[in-house]
Amino acid sequence: MIRLSGRLRSALIIGGQGIRARKTRTLLSIVSLFLGVLAVVVVQAGAEAANQAALADIELQVGKDGTRMMYVSPEKAGAMAAALETLKGRSDAVGVIGTSATIGEPGVNPVNPGGAPFDRQAGGPDYYYGGGPGAEMICDERGCRPVDKAQQAEQTPNGQAIELRLSALTGDVLPFRPYRMKSGRWLDFTKVPSLSPGIVVNLEAAKGFARYQVPAEMRIYGVSTNATPRIIGVVDDGVPMPTAYTRVDELLNWVPASSLDMMGGVETLLAPDAYAVEQTLRARLVGLGVPAEQLRADPVNARKAIEEQLRLVRLVFLGIAGLVLLIGVAGILNVGLATVGERVEEFALRRAVGTPRTLLAGIVLAETLLTGLFTAAAAIGVASLALKVVGSILSGRTPIPLDMEFPWQAGVAGIVAGLVAGLLGGLIPAIRAARIPIATVMRA
Amino acid sequence: MTPLIELDGVTKTLKGQQEPRTILSGVDLTVQAGQSVAVLGRSGSGKSTLLSIVGLFDRPDGGAYRIDGQDISRIPERKAAALRSAEFGFVFQRFFLLKHLSAAQNVAMALVNGQGWLPRRQRRAKVMAALEQVGIAHLAKHRPAKLSGGEQQRVAVARALVRQPRILLADEPTGALDTETGNLVIDVLHEATRQGRALILVTHDWDHARKMGRVLRLEDGTLHDVDEYEHAPAEVAA
Ligand SMILES: Nc1ncnc2c1ncn2[C@@H]1O[C@H](COP(=O)(O)OP(=O)(O)O)[C@@H](O)[C@H]1O
Ligand SMILES: [Mg+2]
pLDDT of residue B68: 95
Whether A114 and A261 share a structural domain: yes
A351 and A225 fall within a common domain: no
Q: What is the pLDDT of residue A130?
A: 40
Looking at the structure, tell me whether residues A256 and A145 fall in a common domain: yes
Mean pLDDT of A274-291: 87
Domain check: are A158 and A230 in the same one? yes
DSSP readout, A325-352? HHHHHHHHHHHHHHHHHHTHHHHHHHHH
The size of chain B, in residues, is: 238
Question: A357 and B77: CB-CB below 8 Å?
Answer: yes
Q: Are residues A357 and A416 in the same domain?
A: yes
One domain, residues A218 and A107: yes
Shared-domain flag, residues A245 and A319: no
From chain A, the residues in CB contact with B172 under 8 A are 444
Q: Whose CA is nearest to atom 1 of ligand 1?
A: A440
Is pLDDT above 80 for A353? yes
Q: Are residues A171 and A137 in the same domain?
A: yes
Higher pLDDT, A123 or A409: A409
Size of interface A-B (CB pairs under 8 A): 98
Give the CB-side neighbour count of residue A123, counting CA atoms within 13 A. Answer: 1
Regarding whether A365 and A251 lie in a shared domain, the answer is no
CB–CB of A349 and B96 under 8 A?
yes
Cα–Cα nearest to A101, from A225, A211, A193 = A225
Residue A424's domain spans which residues? 2-60+303-443
CB contact under 8 A, A354 and B112: no
Which of A299, A331, A356 is where one domain is finished? A299
pLDDT in tens, A328-351: 899 889 988 998 998 999 999 999
Number of structural domains (chain A) is 2
The shortest CB-CB distance from A5 to any of B78, B101, B117 is to: B117
Tell me the residues of B at the A interface, defined by beta carbons under 8 Å apart. Answer: 48-49, 52, 55, 57-58, 77-78, 81-86, 90, 92-94, 96, 98, 100-101, 105, 109-110, 112-117, 159, 171-172, 175
- Identify the nearest ligand to the CA of B53 by its number: 1
User: Rounded mean pLDDT of chain A?
Assistant: 82
Q: Both A293 and A307 in a single domain?
A: no
pLDDT tens digits, B202-212: 999 999 999 99
The mean pLDDT of A373-379, rounded to a whole number, is 93
Q: Which residues surround ligand 2, an ion (CB under 5 A)?
A: A 444; B 48
Which one of A299, A324, A359 terminates a domain? A299
Q: Which fold has domain B5-100+166-237?
A: Rossmann fold (3.40.50)
Distance between CA atoms of residues A219 and A252, nearest Å: 13
In chain B, where the domains are located: 5-100+166-237
Q: Are residues A42 and A77 in the same domain?
A: no
- Ligand 1 within 6 A of CB of A224: no
Instruction: State residue A254's pLDDT score.
Output: 72
Q: Are A406 and A384 in contact (CB under 8 A)?
A: yes
* Whole-prediction pTM: 0.71
**Partner residue opposite A444 with nearest CB, options B101, B159, B172:** B172
Which residue among B86, B94, B112 sits closest to A13, beta carbon to beta carbon?
A: B112
Check whether residue A152 and residue A220 sit in a common domain. yes
A176 to each of A63, A69, A70, A185, A296, how far by Cα in Å?
A: 5, 11, 13, 18, 18
- Best mutation target among B113, B143, B205 (most A Cβ atoms within 10 Å) is B113
- Of A248, A275, A299, which residue sits at a domain end? A299
pLDDT at A145: 60
